[in-house]
Structure 1
Amino acid sequence: MSKYRNNPEAIQALVRPGEVHKDLYVDAELFELEMERLFANTWVYVGHASQVPQPGDYTTTTVGTEPVVMVRHSDRSVRVLVNRCPHKGVQVAGGTCGNTGKFFRCPYHAWTFKTDGSLLSLPLRKGYENTGFEHCEASQGMATAGAVHVYRDFVFCRLAPQGISFGDFFGGSLSTIDNMVDRSPEGRLEVAGGVLRYMHPCNWKMLVDNQTDTCHPMVAHESSAGTAVAVWNRAPEGTPKPMAVEQFAPFMSPYEFFEKMGIRVWDNGHGHTGVADSIHAAYSPVPGYWEQMVAAYGEERAQAILGDVRHNTVYFPNIMVKGPIQTLRVFKPVAVDRTLVESWTFRLVGAPDLLLERTCMYNRLINAPTSVVGHDDLEMYERAQQALKARGRDWMNVARLLEPGEADAPEAVVNGTSERQMRNQFQAWARFMTSEASA
């Protein structure tokens, strides 16, 4: 018997002002409903336009668990198609990326589709005469996302044909993307440095929660970042500080640092750490970069761009962006207890190559399958996913610095160790899981 499908009150009851029920992480039925309601009705990141620069270029990915393909159409627009042949259901675009030319060709029966998804041809077409084929679903070609929006080359889609608009969903949170793009003297980014992928044996929300959890770094990462700092402290006086140490050391900042850093929350589950300060604020200057920025923007504007040192920005439901270090992580749900994590790096077009080197080093040190820092978190997720199956305590506490009436003020700047951004995410989760449009 279904516990939640036709019971919005039961879903809503899973989120309290300072608590969430463990079913959000372990219940398989809720996971399926998330794919149908949350991921279908919100704006989900698909990819970056630089991944498909020429007509016919494509890359495959998922929106929730829905297989999609992002492709550059012949008119140079970016399209998002459901990666499924309407004939017998075979995935049309294979691999992770490539160039399909002027059309996609299904590898099973050779049906072909234009890069906007429309049906181009099929073998032995006479066999469909007088069958009503022109009125059936297959004649309409590959299904398309309900809506696609390209914001400064970041491609998002909403699977549902109707729903919240792109602007209403993201609001002021788009300023993080603006800042990351504006760090290029030419105002452009491009994907560079490859992508790192590895599977996590946990629910996707654990990874999202962790992005604004500032009370764990000095504890969970003591064995990795703490060891790196201890080794560095024994280096002879005058030894040049390695780039890796610059990136490791801030993880061991004290609670007081993170409290003063601040957290900003926006409506619909978006928010970021790093308002007044962040772990990315004290990197060594890159020769020539400041001069390029001043030439492009003027000194005052350049200072404003580079002085914005946000730490982690969560774009609900499932990406995190680091503007000052030009990385983006996607948390792809696979099952209730399995999540594929992709970590992408970007080049600031026109900026010194040393910035891309720093970006790629950060990604390898912190986000790679071989990372010592990332595996501190991975161990915590795995322990939590297993332990949440235990009986006796059904509610998880997210009440740190809970303020009365905060649910009525969706946008705020708060103490950097507050769990308000997590509460913001859970409120958005409950809203999209129970709204009339989602149901």
Structure 2
Amino acid sequence: MNRKDVLALVQPDRVHRALYLSQELFELEQHTFFARTWNFVGHASQIPQPGDYVAVQIAGQPLLMVRQPDGGIRVLYNRCAHKGMPLVTDGQGRAERLLRCPYHAWTYRLDGSLLATPLRAGYEGSALQSSEAAQGMGAVAHVEVYRDFVFARLSDSGPDFHAYFGEVLAAIDNLADRSPVGRLRVEGGILRNVIHCNWKMYLENINDTVHPLSAHESATQAARRLWQDQPEDAPKPMAMEQILPFGAGYDFFDRMGGRIYPHGHSMLGVNFSIHSGYAQVPEYEAAMQAAHGAERAAEILQRSPQNSVCFPSLAVKGSPQAIRVIRPLAADRTLVEAWSLRAEGAPELLFERAMTYNRLVFSPMSMVAHDDVHLFESMQQGLRAGPNDWVSLHRDHRPGADETGVREVNGTSEALMRNQFRAWAEVMADALPPDAPGEPA
């Protein structure tokens, strides 16, 4: 597939269904798109001590995020230089002072350099020391730790971290600064759900405010029936506080507003969101004012965007303090992780909100996620049907309109989704030859 083929798949107001269905295209994405963009690896609080590690897969590559003896963080390729066995096969743990291959017991320092091999005499006179194997595990060269959020870019080609994310990093700042001391911790476990759909389908939905009224109607109607006899000023239980806004009308979602940024990033709910009505906590507000000053505290607490997308792998909610991590596995398989974050120095109520929201909305057994999972998996199958090769993204598109750069849009606009596909096409096309033979997948 060449550059022309890829660009033909993404048009100003529609995208080709091959973007969701083609395994050939997915495999091409791995070493072009995902390798050249900055992807979320993990959070520094997951590896507090030297030797602590977290194993992930990005761009089809098994990786290890490892805390170093000097306190730094390295991201290593999780592959023994001998036979290719992953050094660790569990998701998280501690390696103490070294990493040891479970197959032949080659050992590596925490920075990935080769420490020792069994039967050392057997290598005397060989070319091992001048071979690739002697170089050890190998480390990802491009790693950035921003407010304890760890990102990696696997390719040497691609934009600088700050140039890539730009203004959308304010969403991470808003999340971290909800701690009076500016620190977050991952706690409460990570909810994982493998969905049989393409990763783009899930990311689109993060910016879709039109579907809640129809897709989640049963959940919101049940909540309304339970709450309908309560006085208007009655304090809502946390579950009601979080579920009822899903039934807000189209006008509410439209007026909440959105913002698109270069490289596919976005912010939904720049004016207000379904999280804006959460009960205030006076003692927490006082602590925030003491820590950040009254003006900055107000700016942090009054901004509760519904979703901020750090394209392509991270979606952030400042309130509740939760993130979703999107990890593509195949053209029709995506791992979605829901993380709860504790703001150090903040009341327990804030962490309880994050945990409750993730259970209510993102857990595979929740009142909300099962609607989405059913829809995603059904769409993945439905896209194979019929003669129509295209997926419509026409809403709020005007032919000839310039959608590049930072731009304000209404909250129900499909410009947020078009922005993601435009960024995908730009990275893919830049990585491919202009006139190699091939046809669209």
Tell whether the structures are fold-level matches, with TM greater than 0.5: yes
Seen in structure 2, the aligned counterparts of structure 1 residues 81 and 290 have a Cα distance that, compared at 3 Å, is same
Counterpart among 190, 198, 201 of residue 193 in structure 2: 198
Q: Does the 8 Å CA contact 1:286/1:355 hold for their aligned counterparts?
A: no
Distance 1:160 1:118 in 2: 20
* Residue 280, structure 1, aligned to residue 270, structure 2: no
Q: Does the 8 Å CA contact 1:225/1:373 hold for their aligned counterparts?
A: no
Ranked by relative contact order (alpha carbons within 8 Å, sequence separation 6 or more), the top structure is 2
Letter in 1 for 2:259: R
* Residue 210, structure 1, aligned to residue 205, structure 2: yes
Q: Matches of residues 297-316 of structure 1 in structure 2 within 5 Å?
A: 297-316=292-311
Q: Does the 8 Å CA contact 1:41/1:438 hold for their aligned counterparts?
A: no
SS of corresponding position for 1:13: helix
Distance 1:73 1:366 in 2: 36
Q: Matches of residues 290-439 of structure 1 in structure 2 within 5 Å?
A: 290-407=285-402, 409-436=404-431
Counterpart among 19, 38, 44 of residue 43 in structure 1: 38
Q: Does the 8 Å CA contact 1:272/1:310 hold for their aligned counterparts?
A: yes
Distance 1:54 1:409 in 2: 43
Q: Name the % identity.
A: 50
1:237-286 Cα distance to aligned partner (Å, 9 max, x none): 77542110000011111010111100100000000101111111000112
Distance 1:199 1:171 in 2: 30
1:140-168 Cα distance to aligned partner (Å, 9 max, x none): 11122131000010000001134211011
Greater Cα offset, 329-338 or 169-178: 329-338
How far the C-alpha of 1:404 sits from its partner, in A, is: 4.3
Contiguous gaps of at least 5 residues in structure 2: 435-441
Distance 1:385 1:423 in 2: 19
Residue matched to 2:128: 133
* Residue 169, structure 1, aligned to residue 148, structure 2: no
Distance 2:324 2:431 in 1: 30
Seen in structure 2, the aligned counterparts of structure 1 residues 108 and 301 have a Cα distance that, compared at 3 Å, is same
* Residue 105, structure 1, aligned to residue 61, structure 2: no
Counterpart among 18, 21, 28 of residue 33 in structure 1: 28
Residue matched to 2:116: 121
Q: Does the 8 Å CA contact 1:267/1:410 hold for their aligned counterparts?
A: yes
How far the C-alpha of 1:235 sits from its partner, in A, is: 4.4
Q: Does the 8 Å CA contact 1:204/1:338 hold for their aligned counterparts?
A: yes
1:197-253 Cα distance to aligned partner (Å, 9 max, x none): 111011111110000011111111101123212221144777542110000011111
Counterpart among 75, 79, 87 of residue 82 in structure 2: 87
* Residue 77, structure 1, aligned to residue 72, structure 2: yes
Residue matched to 1:189: 184
Report the TM-score, using the length of structure 1 for normalisation: 0.96
SS of corresponding position for 2:239: helix
* Residue 222, structure 1, aligned to residue 217, structure 2: yes
Report the TM-score, using the length of structure 2 for normalisation: 0.95
Letter in 1 for 2:213: M
Seen in structure 2, the aligned counterparts of structure 1 residues 105 and 399 have a Cα distance that, compared at 3 Å, is same
SS of corresponding position for 1:372: coil
How many pairs align? Answer: 434
Seen in structure 2, the aligned counterparts of structure 1 residues 438 and 170 have a Cα distance that, compared at 3 Å, is farther
Distance 2:45 2:28 in 1: 33
Distance 1:28 1:316 in 2: 21
* Residue 54, structure 1, aligned to residue 46, structure 2: no
